[in-house]
Amino acid sequence: MKRFIEEPIPSAYDIVVAGGGITGAAVAYEAACRGFRTALVEKKDFAWATSSATSKLIHGGLRYLANAEFGLVRESLKERSVLQNIAPNLVHPIPMMMIHDNVCPKNKPFEIAVGLMLYDLLAYDRNKTWDPVKKIPQHRRMTAEEALVLEPGIFARGLKGASVFYDCANAFPERLTLAFIKSAHVHGAHVANYAEVASFMKEGPRVTGVVVKDLLHARTVEIPARLVINCTGPWADITLGKASSSVAAAPLTRSEGIHIVTRRRVNTHVVSYMTAGGRHFFMIPWRNHTLIGTTDEPYTGSPDDYRVTASSIKGLIDEVNETVGAEVVDVDDVLYAYGGLRPLVEDVSADTYGASRRYEIQDNAKDGIDGLVTVEGGKFTTSRMLAEKTIDIAETKLEKRHTPSTTAKRYLWGCQIPDMRTFGLDVFKKNRDFDSDTLEYLVRNYGTETEAVLELARNDPDLRERMDKDGEIAAQVVYAMRNEMARSLEDIVLRRTGIASLGDPGRDALRSAADIAATELGWDGERKEREISEVLRVLAVPGR
């Protein structure tokens, strides 16, 4: 992929998508698949904000049943299956263990059992997957003793037992987002990161395109379009304000969610606790470590100013320790902390945890700004369906004959794997000259692009260098820049590879990646040191 704004711009696009998170990526893919001349612009890197700040889960939203949001849960469960099908290497079933204890009055095993029965019923088609290996069993109840056998490290005050059900894991949401972007690109979409929408092109009240600031080359580019779709997440209302100061988007509440990475505390289950106040947090097995999260607190500042704070980390740690009744984690245990802002369409001020995760698609013509559609809210799991509905509206606005969506019926790029087990065995058989953990990591995160990464390493022995304990290799760093539009060290080590997503990987690993990037991108010594310093700033744990 190449940044299209570095080339001459076509006379006009049908659709320009603003925002390169999962929503924008899915919308661009849907639009390209339906034959629209499509462009996508992202002001920083793809999936750099909310889409990277997830719990690494693709889930139906069990807790939304408490709000009687049956439609949202059904849609989420359906899309969970779709993502398993179209991205089989990136999305796979994972067991969830819900702890029953004495901490919260709402933690009533009977009521939870009823909810899980309903969850199973709403997921009636969960095993109609393309790969028959990806089976999701019904939930089951177990005693405290049985739970402790499976997860000896769990703590709980007055442990009464547990319920086990299944959702899905997505260990690398940034690469899943990238798979949508690559798929859009393969179907003809033009994409660019570090391309910020500075203003809108207009003819009277009608939007006719966007003026983009190319942040890598300090210039502006006009991109004409028949329709602009605003998918900027927590920035949606701000982006809309650039089109007209007199128009407001639907009420947008921003909610902060953070996660911390610690040493391994659970085995194979996502262990879920209910706090005294009725919230949930999870201990999630991830890359032989544990991910703990998430929070859900109102955020009222500018989204551009958002940072994870020491107080947010302390708040999560205190909540965990108070709930389990022991000091199972403190700030010195935190290897890395990350966070993001959820855009919520409900106008709530305090109870963001209880707010709906539904989405809204606004045709801004009703506000006097034709040629602009704004998407707000939603969740990672339902982004593909949101995109389908958005492009249905686009077809009507652009007077295009309706074309049925096909994105639920075709593999994402790099994910064309009918049988994961057979595919993995074939990769291992053909590449015995590489470590098994390297091959396993690449198969999971690069899918059918695995061979291309390995070929880089075969052609240059230096690129066989191991970069972390997972077996990631230096060839991935090169691949990120040549094939995946990575333009900074942070892009490389946090969003194309996982070299730094468990925390500081050490100066040797960072310097090795920076040396490769400097050669590929033409950085001088000063730029290289600046890139390393910026990554270290991002990785620093506040308050530690």
Nearest residue to 383 via CA among 117, 39, 94, 19: 19
Q: Are strands 372-377 and 219-230 parallel, antiparallel or unpaired?
A: parallel
Strand, coil or helix: what is 139? coil
Whether the predicted pLDDT of 249 surpasses 70 = no
**Residue 357 scores a pLDDT above 80:** no
In the chain, what percentage of residues exceed pLDDT 90?
A: 88
pLDDT value of residue 286: 97
Distance CA 472, CA 465 (A): 8
β-strands 38-41, 190-192: how paired? Answer: parallel
Q: DSSP of 451-494, one letter per residue?
A: HHHHHHHHH-GGGG-B-STT--BTHHHHHHHHHS---SHHIIII
What confidence tier does 246 reach under pLDDT thresholds 50, 70, 90?
Answer: low
CB half-sphere exposure, 158, CA atoms < 13 A: 10
Tokens read off for 435: 């470590």
Low-confidence winner among 21-25, 159-163, 250-254 (lowest mean pLDDT)? 250-254
Three-state DSSP class for residue 187? coil
**Mean pLDDT, residues 320-338 taken together:** 95
Q: Work out the number of other CB atoms within 10 angstroms of the CB of residue 172.
A: 26
Question: CA 338 from chain center: how many Å?
Answer: 13
Taking the C-alpha atoms of residue 280 and residue 277, their distance in angstroms, rounded to an integer, is 9
How many whole angstroms separate alpha carbon 348 and alpha carbon 514?
44
**Cα gap 49→423, rounded to integer Å:** 32
Is the distance from CB of 148 to CB of 154 less than 8 angstroms? yes
Say whether the peptide bond before residue 294 is cis (omega within 30 degrees of 0): yes
| Tokens found for residue 253 | 């509440």
User: pLDDT digits over 157-174, tens only?
Assistant: 889 999 999 999 999 999
Q: How many CB atoms lie within 10 A of CB 242?
A: 16
Is 353's pLDDT higher than 50? no
The secondary structure of residue 239, as a DSSP letter, is H
pLDDT, residue 352, reads 44
Quote the tokens at residue 193.
């990161």
List beta partners, residue 209: 201, 224
**pLDDT of 344:** 81
Output phi, psi for 178, to 5 deg: -65, -35
Closest CA to 96 of 199, 165, 5, 29: 165
% pLDDT > 70, the chain: 97
Cα(127)–Cα(43) distance, rounded to whole angstroms? 39
Q: Specify the DSSP class assigned to residue 411.
A: P
pLDDT for 229 equals: 98
Give the pLDDT confidence score for residue 248 in this predicted structure: 55
d(CA 222, CA 5): 9
- Structural domains in the chain? 4-50+174-251+357-397 (3.50.50.60), 91-169+253-344 (3.30.9.10), 420-539 (1.10.8.870)
What is the chain's Cα-based Rg? Answer: 23
Give the pLDDT band of residue 467 (cuts 50, 70, 90): very high
Angle at 405 between CA 400 and CA 410, to 5 degrees: 140
Mean of pLDDT values over 497-501: 98
Q: Give the strand pairing for 253-262 and 289-293.
A: antiparallel
| Mean pLDDT for the stretch of residues 194-217 | 97
Residue 42's alpha-carbon distances to 23, 238, 489, in angstroms, are 12, 14, 18
pLDDT, average across residues 523-534: 98
> 474, 463 in Cβ contact below 8 A?
yes
Residue among 525, 538, 523, 244 nearest 368 (CA)? 244
Alpha-carbon gap, residue 456 to 247, rounded angstroms: 51
Antiparallel, parallel or unpaired: β 161-169 and 92-100: antiparallel
pLDDT score of 331: 96
* pLDDT band at residue 250 under the 50/70/90 scheme: low
